[in-house]
Amino acid sequence: MSANVIARAFKLLASLIFSIALTPSVFALSETLTSPPEKDIRAVSCVNVLARDYSVHPVLGTKAGEHYKGDLSAVDFDKLCCESIYWSGEVPFDPNYLAHEAAELDAAEQLCKLALSGEFNTYRPANLDPAYTTDKKLTVGFNHIPLELTYRGFDCTRAVCGETVKKLYKKELPYTGPYRSEILKHPILDTEEFKPLGPISLTGLKFKELNEDPGSRDFFEHQYIASSKCFRKAEGAAALQFSDRAFGLTEMQILDLGGEPSIKTGPVIVWGDSDKFKKNWVYYFGYSGIPVRLVFDGNRCVGSALLSTAQQLKMADFNFFRFSSRFPEDIPCDTVRQIAGYQCLRGNPEGKSRAEILDTFGEPQSITKDSEGHPLYIYGTGRFACVEIPIVDDHAYGRISHTIRIGWRRRK
């Protein structure tokens, strides 16, 4: 074999070895170029700063999904039951405990037996006249299991809960006109009244529709839905799903998922964490108005959670007083008390400069114009409520306007 042939064979072998050695690096380079530039923040070690453990019932001690088989005699009834007229009052409903419905229904059934035997007398009337009959309407637990007790004089003669009460309520609700035997269906979620959402992954369009007013066919249907809270279970599950999906997203991604929130606000001192979270968004979903709170670090959502009724009421009080234009002497003494242990800050924007308003209340949720073309700063204070502050000559002019949107009609 000639030297030339041997040299050519050596060069070919060297080239082949080099290409084999280079191949993994080329593949690695290709993999780097085709991988997404930024991983989903929820896939990395990021913790929802608002997350809490709802796996154990704080009153019954049961785990999520478990039935309650304990003795109610050791349970604090004040923490388990609430009295409510037609079950439409503001009581501490918390959809974070949806998974504990079975245990709370067991507790409600036990309470019926205890009431009939004279062992559950917390809500027994003081009237001893045997001819005197009265009904006590209660809710049990965070899921508001309806409970109705009928007393004749001092004795409980009838006790029903759960589905039995719901059927009676639908038939006997005052002012609803003719009784309707048909079962209502949610116009957006397509679930039957009092039924769970089920294993459904909602689209952004569904979230946006729930964020608006679902609407109803007529006044009586609206009154029944609002009073009975018949869609609260499905809407609570939808709100939980939105909370999980919104965590880790940017502001623009959240707006694309659920639309504009009802409230964009700075620190809310009555929630006790205003030193940590300077930017809060609150969404309300469905007929029940299930509130979802989002907090941000920059433009990224780092915390999401559903608000309990108690938290929501605290924020409503806080928003009313911080935008109040009344002077202390105009407010009754019992109204000036601290809200949830915090001295309420009264904003009174009248006469303040634009810079002072921005420093006190933060950036407005939106800016429109009044009838004379002056800028109008809009701050959301609730699902259907906002405050309008007119700006004239770079100062707030005149008394501020608390506006409430009445009725179940679309925002658009």
Question: Do 102 and 85 share a domain, yes or no?
Answer: yes
Q: Using the 3D structure, point to which of 306, 322, 353 is the last residue of a domain.
A: 306
Which one is predicted more confidently, 312 or 176?
312
Residue 332 covered by a domain: yes
Question: Do 192 and 252 share a domain, yes or no?
Answer: yes
Question: Do 343 and 383 share a domain, yes or no?
Answer: yes
Residue 133 covered by a domain: yes
Residue 97 covered by a domain: yes
Each residue of 343-393: pLDDT tens digit? 444 556 777 888 888 877 778 888 888 878 888 888 888 888 888 888 888
pLDDT of residue 204: 93
Question: Do 297 and 177 share a domain, yes or no?
Answer: yes
Question: Do 247 and 287 share a domain, yes or no?
Answer: yes
Q: Using the 3D structure, point to which of 306, 322, 349 is the last residue of a domain.
A: 306
Q: Using the 3D structure, point to which of 306, 341, 376 is the last residue of a domain.
A: 306
Residue 291 covered by a domain: yes
Q: What is the mean pLDDT of residues 41-45?
A: 43
Question: 144 lies in which domain range?
Answer: 72-306
pLDDT of residue 241: 96
pLDDT of residue 92: 65
Number of domains in the chain: 2
Residue 2 covered by a domain: no
Residue 237 covered by a domain: yes
Question: Do 168 and 236 share a domain, yes or no?
Answer: yes
pLDDT of residue 132: 82
Looking only at the bridges linking them, the beta strands covering 366-369 and 375-380 are antiparallel
Residue 20 covered by a domain: no
Percent of the chain with pLDDT over 70: 74
pLDDT of residue 10: 41
Each residue of 180-226: pLDDT tens digit? 667 888 989 999 988 899 899 999 999 999 998 777 777 777 777 87
Question: Do 182 and 236 share a domain, yes or no?
Answer: yes
Which domain CATH number covers 322?
3.30.1450
pTM of the model as a whole: 0.75
Question: Do 86 and 120 share a domain, yes or no?
Answer: yes
Question: Do 299 and 280 share a domain, yes or no?
Answer: yes
Question: Do 249 and 322 share a domain, yes or no?
Answer: no
Residue 10 covered by a domain: no
Q: What is the mean pLDDT of residues 28-39?
A: 32
Question: Do 210 and 117 share a domain, yes or no?
Answer: yes
Question: Do 346 and 238 share a domain, yes or no?
Answer: no
Mean pLDDT, all residues of the chain:
76
pLDDT of residue 385: 82
pLDDT of residue 126: 77
